[in-house]
Amino acid sequence: MNEFVLVKLGGSVITKKDVIPPAINIPEVIRIAKEIQASTKPLVIVLGGGAYGHQAAHKYGFGIADTPASRLLSGIPSIRHNMSLLSGGIETILQSEGVSSVVIPPFPIVTLIDGEIERFPLEVITKTLNSGHTVITHGDVCYDSTRGASILSGDTIVAYLANQLNTSSVFVGTNVDGVLDANPNENPNAQIIPTISEHNKEQVIRVAGPSSSTDVTGGMAKKIHDLFLISQKGIEVAIFNLSVPGRLEGLLKGDQVICTRILA
Ligand code: IP8
């Protein structure tokens, strides 16, 4: 299989914040659909849950210790429905912008064990890429043999696919310029950390912490940890601001853009 590029579309950029029922940020997704066409390599797009995933997951007790399995399992239809709406909506926009793309949802194929991936068959993903289509997959709820059900985050999918498949680059799009040296909500002077290496990794993780109360999947600290492991395999890794026009396109073209690069 040829090398491909993994792009995470952060849920906070592709969905509207605090809107009930959840809604896709259509102008942003149209812009992103145009930018991804700068890629010369096949693409796997991984969607975060945003308003579609996290609110529903929170409602059924995901991310809260000791939630009984019966309660977690009762949340499956609602979370699945939301993530199908999100991924289907993104697929519609990408296709209408000329990106030949197919949604491959994790729920029917992935199983978890205590929150970690137990089984994730990749054949359909590789066949879809080899057919010349862009793969769209997303954070999802999955059956978990220990807990009943768990949330599989888009970031965990990114790490798994980068490790298992022939990946050249991983670009993680968020709503901030990269990893910052302080919480921008508390400190307006927070500065971007241009590179994370062995040398500053632990210190950065301490400052980054979890991202918000409704983010049920671990936030920035876990993201950095997993991405660091990927970069150790020689894969190009950047965390960037997906809300700023041109940054994704620049990364895909190999330009210098404002972002945090993770260099093992
Ligand atoms: O936003 C979470 O994915 P993430 C997906 O990448 C759900 O953490 C269903 C909450």
Please report, as a single letter, which amino acid is at residue 230: I
With a cut of 90, say whether residue 69 has pLDDT above it: yes
Instruction: For residues 192-209, give the mean pLDDT.
Output: 87
Ligand 1 closest atom vs CA 57: 10
CA dist 74 and 69 (Å) reads: 8
Ligand 1 closest atom vs CA 56: 10
Instruction: For residues 50-61, give the mean pLDDT.
Output: 94
Nearest CA to ligand 1 atom 7: 53
Ligand 1, residues 117, 213, 217: which to mutate, most atoms within 8 A of Cβ? 217
> What is each CA distance from 184 to 58, 188, 206, in whole angstroms?
24, 5, 15
CA dist 63 and 139 (Å) reads: 14
**Pocket around ligand 1: residues whose beta carbon is below 6 Å from it?**
11, 48-49, 53-54, 57, 79, 83, 139-141, 151, 153-155, 216-217
Residue 80 has, within 13 A of its CA and on its CB side, a CA count of 15
Kindly report which listed range (100-114, 129-143, 218-232, 245-259) carries the lowest average pLDDT score.
218-232
- What integer pLDDT is reported at residue 114 of this predicted model? 95
Instruction: For residues 215-224, give the mean pLDDT.
Output: 69
CA dist 169 and 236 (Å) reads: 5
**Residue 221: pLDDT band by 50, 70, 90 thresholds?**
confident
- What integer pLDDT is reported at residue 217 of this predicted model? 53
Write down all domains in the chain, each with its CATH number in brackets: 4-262 (3.40.1160.10)
Q: Which of 154, 38, 136, 124 is nearest to 94 (CA)?
A: 136
With a cut of 70, say whether residue 215 has pLDDT above it: no
Q: From the CA of 71, how far away is ligand 1's center (Å)? A: 18
With a cut of 80, say whether residue 157 has pLDDT above it: yes
Pairing of strands 236-241, 259-262: antiparallel
Q: What are the tokens at 109?
A: 């194929």
Q: From the CA of 55, how far away is ligand 1's center (Å)? A: 10
Does an H or E element contain 11, and which? Answer: helix 11-14
With a cut of 70, say whether residue 110 has pLDDT above it: yes
Instruction: Report the predicted TM-score, pTM, of the whole model to 2 decimal places.
Output: 0.94
**Residue 214: pLDDT band by 50, 70, 90 thresholds?**
very low
